[in-house]
Amino acid sequence: MALASAGAAERGETVAPKAQSSRLAIGLPANWRQLRKFDAHHHVFLAGRRSLSDWSEVDNLIEAADHLGIERLFCSRPITAGVRVNIDVVRDANDSVLDAMKRHPGRIGGYCFVQPGNGAAALDEIERTLAAGMIGVKLYNQYNFTDPIIFPIAEKCLLHRIPLLGHSGHLTDPKARAAQPRISDALDFCALARRYPTLQLILGHVNGGGDWEWAIRGIRECPQIYLDTSGSGLDDDTIGRCVRAVGPDRVLFATDGTMEGCVGKILSADLTAAQREAILWRNWQRVLDQRLT
Amino acid sequence: MIIDVNACLGHYPFRRLRHNSAAKMVAHMDRNGIDRALVSSLHAIFYRDTQSGDEEFFDEISPHRERLIPIATVNPKYVGWERDLADSVVNVRVKAVALMPEYHGYALNDSDGRGALAKIASYGIPVVLRQRLEDRRQRHAWDRAEDMTPLALLAAARAHPNLKFLLVNWLGLDGEKLVEAGLKGRCLIDFARLQIIYRKDALRLVETLGIEGLAFGSHMPFDYVGPSLVKLANFERLFPAELERIAWRNASDFLGLA
């Protein structure tokens, strides 16, 4: 894999002149806000929804996206902490995402969150939300991806050729692992990918807190799995390691709430302009273009 | 001009780092428009004899003293630490001293921690407290350290009212509690793990501590520098008149770099 050297100037891109009153743009492309960006992994109302009329959280998200030049954000509202709930709670969560999509049409896209344990109702929920405009399915940590209970969800995604985004992590800290006993790591994703070789599977937040080096090495042999670049970790060379391991076409820009950090990671990474453009939006567009609905 | 108050040099036992020698760090700073950086030694954290790590670190950065501002690291559980601290302050003229209690087996509020904080205060220079080096969720089996807690920080601030605190790589600080602990005007916090837009936790700290409480920091070479450059650019967009304070002046004033 040929990689460009680090730094905007070394990539032959325009950088802000040193004579400016501040030198902030050095190390960042001068037009970094204008670079097209689709955020493949974000959330709305993750901490709950205070009232149906309170849009401050969603509007704040769009304001931040405007600052960073993020054109579209693909959001879900998963039930977290491993809690298993009935389908009514799941539907309410998805309805709030649909509301956010209506509030900011063309800016917020939606993933349908489901709990596979809800069985046929979960599959119906996917149909309902796809009909309402959602573009994919989000799974959290209620079930490991090697659990057969996941298979009908994967088959539903295959039927519609929609992406399946999974919460992931190889947690090496005993306390963190105890808190998420059924979390799926890269090898679990690979097991699902081998069962369904054409499934568009996304390993969520490579920098989400677990051992990201392990994750990158783990999915090298599973060519249809995408890595999303989100997470609170900003570890140097993560993006370069992703590209060197799986190629630039399997890496998706995403933030999962770490918006400035995750934009900055891509801008700092050792990428050619074409690789960066692929990661920032073209790869995700290709995923979306596969959909039948 | 940009001064980065959150940087390290050396090898980290559990992950390969780039830009981690003095020469590589300066080249990295050149590429990213960072003029000066406050740096400490990773070797000083992990060697049994902390001071031998600092001695090789001071030697390594000596050709780059215009760009790299050294921080000493002290382990108050190791023999002769007070003498070593005096050497670093008087002869090397370090601008601050780092404590790493989680890595050296003591607490800020036990006799070792209290003694170290008091001694640093007696020299009139800030202590550097780094909440963590890496996310614990990816820890190596030999990495037993926990994140430093806001509670431990607040207790230390109350117990040492004349000590200044440089707080790097922190998340989860409550500005009002910092003010209650008497830290307004005697702490400087870098935004490597904070956000200017969206979560806006950096701005909430400014609301309570004042603009003088926030500074540019990147946590290089552990982290990409781009995230902090983006935050600085966003800060400039929102508060152009205050940019200089965040980019370098607060750090310069706090550490007496002029």
- A269 and B CB contact within 8 Å: yes
Q: Per residue of chain B (258 residues), what is the pLDDT tens digit?
A: 999 999 999 999 999 999 999 999 999 999 999 999 999 999 999 999 999 999 999 999 999 999 999 999 999 999 999 999 999 999 999 999 999 999 999 999 999 999 999 999 999 999 999 999 999 999 999 999 999 999 999 999 999 999 999 999 999 999 999 999 999 999 999 999 999 999 999 999 999 999 999 999 999 999 999 999 999 999 999 999 999 999 999 999 999 997
Q: Which fold has domain A34-289?
A: TIM Barrel (3.20.20)
For A70-110, what is each residue's pLDDT tens digit?
A: 999 999 999 988 888 999 999 999 999 999 999 999 999 99
Residue with tokens 């989680």: B102
Chain A / chain B CB contacts < 8 angstroms: 137
Q: Name which of A6, A26, A209 is nearest B135 (Cβ-Cβ).
A: A209
Q: Name which of B1, B199, B229 is nearest A28 (Cβ-Cβ).
A: B229
Name the 3-class secondary structure at A40.
strand
C-alpha distance from B67 to closest chain A C-alpha (Å): 16
Evaluate if residue A19 carries a pLDDT over 80: no
Predicted pLDDT of residue A293 = 60
Backbone angles phi, psi at B139, to 5 degrees: -65, 145
Name the 3-class secondary structure at A283.
helix
Task: Indicate the average pLDDT of chain A.
Answer: 91
B38 with B65: CB under 8 angstroms? no
C-alpha distance from B120 to closest chain A C-alpha (Å): 31
Which of 211-250 (B) contact A at CB < 8 A?
219-234, 236-237, 243, 247
Name the 3-class secondary structure at B83.
helix
- B137 and A CB contact within 8 Å: yes
Q: Name which of A64, A236, A260 is nearest B18 (Cβ-Cβ).
A: A236
- A9 and B CB contact within 8 Å: yes
C-alpha distance from A228 to closest chain B C-alpha (Å): 17
Enumerate the residues of chain B whose CB falls inside 8 A of the CB of residue A173.
Answer: 136-139
In this complex, do B33 and A67 lie within 8 Å of one another by their Cβ atoms?
no
User: How far apart are the C-alpha atoms of B230 and B152, rounded to whole Å?
Assistant: 31
Domain ranges across chain A: 34-289
Average pLDDT over every residue of A260-274: 97
In this complex, do B31 and A6 lie within 8 Å of one another by their Cβ atoms?
yes
% of residues, chain A, pLDDT over 70: 91
- B144 and A CB contact within 8 Å: no
Evaluate if residue A13 carries a pLDDT over 80: no
Predicted pLDDT of residue A49 = 80
Predicted pLDDT of residue A50 = 76
In this complex, do B226 and A209 lie within 8 Å of one another by their Cβ atoms?
no
User: How far apart are the C-alpha atoms of A200 and A31, rounded to whole Å?
Assistant: 32
CATH number listed for the domain at residues B3-255: 3.20.20.140
In this complex, do B136 and A173 lie within 8 Å of one another by their Cβ atoms?
yes
User: How far apart are the C-alpha atoms of B28 and B18, rounded to whole Å?
Assistant: 9
Which of 182-211 (A) contact B at CB < 8 A?
209-211
**What is the predicted ipTM?**
0.97
C-alpha distance from A175 to closest chain B C-alpha (Å): 8
Helix or strand run (H / E) with residue A65: helix A56-68
- B70 and A CB contact within 8 Å: no
Q: Name which of A32, A173, A237 is nearest B137 (Cβ-Cβ).
A: A173
Residue in B closest to A176 by C-alpha: B137
Among A78, A245, A242, smallest CA distance to A253 is for: A242
CA–chain centroid gap for A118, Å, is 24
At A47, is the pLDDT very low, low, confident or very high (cuts 50, 70, 90)?
Answer: confident
- A20 and B CB contact within 8 Å: no
Among A91, A60, A96, A54, smallest CA distance to A75 is for: A96
Neighbours of B25 (CB within 10 A): 26
Helix, strand, coil % (nearest 5) of chain B?
45, 15, 40
Backbone angles phi, psi at A216, to 5 degrees: -65, -45
Q: Name which of B31, B223, B243 is nearest A7 (Cβ-Cβ).
A: B31
Which of 27-46 (A) contact B at CB < 8 A?
27-28, 32
B171 with B131: CB under 8 angstroms? yes
Enumerate the residues of chain A whose CB falls inside 8 A of the CB of residue B141.
Answer: 172
Among A254, A260, A262, smallest CA distance to A233 is for: A262
In this complex, do A172 and B19 lie within 8 Å of one another by their Cβ atoms?
no
C-alpha distance from B176 to closest chain A C-alpha (Å): 23
C-alpha distance from B28 to closest chain A C-alpha (Å): 9
- A23 and B CB contact within 8 Å: yes
Test the A interface: residue of B20, B30, B35, B138 with most A CBs within 10 Å = B138
* C-alpha distances out from residue A25 to A12, A20, B233, Å: 14, 10, 8
